[in-house]
Amino acid sequence: MRILVTGARGLLGSEVVRAAAARGHNTVPLGHDDLDVTDAERVLAAVTAESPDRIVHCAAYTAVDGAEAEPDVASRVNRDGTRNVARAAAASASGMVYVSTDFVFDGLEHAPYLPDHPVAPLSVYGRTKRDGEEAVLEVAAQGAHGAFRPLIVRTGWLYGAEGRNFVDAMVERAARGEALRVVDDQTGGPTWARNVADILVELMEREVDGIWHVADRGEATWLELARTAVRLSGLEANVGGVSTAEWGAPAPRPPYSVLDVTRTERLLGRRMEPWPEALARFLGTEGEERRER
Ligand SMILES: NC(=O)c1ccc[n+]([C@@H]2O[C@H](COP(=O)([O-])OP(=O)(O)OC[C@H]3O[C@@H](n4cnc5c(N)ncnc54)[C@H](OP(=O)(O)O)[C@@H]3O)[C@@H](O)[C@H]2O)c1
């Protein structure tokens, strides 16, 4: 397949490009500088020129706290930009994958969220990502473009090689001997972006559409994730808990946002990797890659 990736230099986009190439697909990686998804004309021109079989739309405004201060910017990218990509995909008979988030849920449940659970985002970021989902589904429902059957993949709590992420930040600070204070009353599903990318490509190959949850298995608080990352890195640090209220971040976050991945597991015929195992592989692989450089 010929696969165009937006946001191709981001945390997940870079892994999607790697995963698609590793499985023998022809990739068209477009970073922010190559294609600004808020420019509808340029999006249509790029998609028409490249004529991909699939577009994996990873470009997004992802600063959860920043979105509270600039909701219009977040909306322009996450809602309008996504609509631009969906319209261009439909017009050129390309398939589309939209990457969405656990933050579309309010987090008031105490069991993992199924894909058809009602969404109720708490934050501006979550609302704009929900709006992106709706924009994709609206383009699909318009019918004028016939068989545009998009795939929406929700994931959450990603870490990986590209860009800043929570795991690297914790390990770096522990290595500097700093004491860490980490939120202990939010629970999610820590997930290696590489695992999401591999499964996302597999779902495209199987021509799956609709809404699917893709995440590593199990759940943890940010405190548990930080402690595990520090321990697996062979470091010792004073890692203490702090409540969401004490931490005082600008954006509200769901207290519990674990995604139920059982439907995806049934489809694939295998279980997702448990998060501590994925994290150990990430830290091992990354350590080796760093030593080689
Ligand atoms: N990280 C997570 O924990 C997480 C969890 C759930 C879902 N997701 C979703 O996963 C997807 C990928 O996110 P990520 O974690 O890979 O974030 P990321 O590293 O911030 O990547 C997003 C990329 O989009 C680019 N971008 C921003 N505005 C753009 C625009 N107007 N046009 C084109 N590109 C633009 C960014 O480029 P610049 O940096 O140059 O602006 C960045 O390279 C997003 O849809 C996100 O909502 C992420």
**How much distance in Å is there from the Cα of 104 to the middle of ligand 1?**
16
* 252 Cβ contact partners less than 8 Å away, ≥ 6 residues apart: 122, 123
User: What is the rounded distance in angstroms from the CA atom of residue 34 to the CA atom of residue 201?
Assistant: 22
Which residues contact ligand 1 via a Cβ below 6 A? 6-7, 9-13, 32, 35-38, 58-62, 77, 81, 99, 101, 129, 155-158, 163
pLDDT, tens digit (0-9, with 9 covering 90-100), for 117-152: 999 999 999 999 999 999 999 999 987 556 799 999
Tell me the backbone φ, ψ of residue 72, rounded to 5 degrees. Answer: -65, -40
Give how far the C-alpha of residue 224 lies from the chain's centroid of Cα atoms, to the nearest Å.
21
Residue nearest to atom 18 of ligand 1 (CA): 10
Enumerate residue ranges in the chain where pLDDT < 70.
144-146, 285-293
Tell me the two tokens of residue 148.
């545009």
What is the Å distance from ligand 1's center to 35 Cα? 13
What pLDDT, on a 0 to 100 scale, did the predictor assign at position 222? 98
* Residue 147: predicted pLDDT: 79
- The CA distance from 284 to 201, in Å, is 24
Res 164: pLDDT: 79
**pLDDT at 163 (0 to 100):** 77
5, 28, 32: residue to mutate for ligand 1 pocket, most atoms within 8 A of CB = 32
In Å, how far are 108, 130, 210, 257 from 157, measured between CA atoms? Answer: 17, 17, 21, 9
Closest CA to 94 of 28, 170, 159: 28
Angle at 232 between CA 227 and CA 237, to 5 degrees: 45
DSSP-derived pairing of the beta strands 26-30 and 210-213: unpaired
Query: What dihedral angle (degrees, nearest 10) is formed by the CA atoms of 42, 43, 47, 49?
Result: 0
What is the per-residue pLDDT for 293? 41
Model pLDDT, residue 291: 45
Task: Report the 10 Å Cβ neighbour count for 26.
Answer: 12
Q: Which of 113, 125, 159, 256 is catalytic?
A: 125
pLDDT score of 287: 53
Give the rounded distance of the alpha carbon of 115 from its chain centre: 15
User: For residue 144, what pLDDT is reported?
Assistant: 59
* 67-95 confidence digits (pLDDT tens): 999 999 999 999 999 999 999 999 999 99
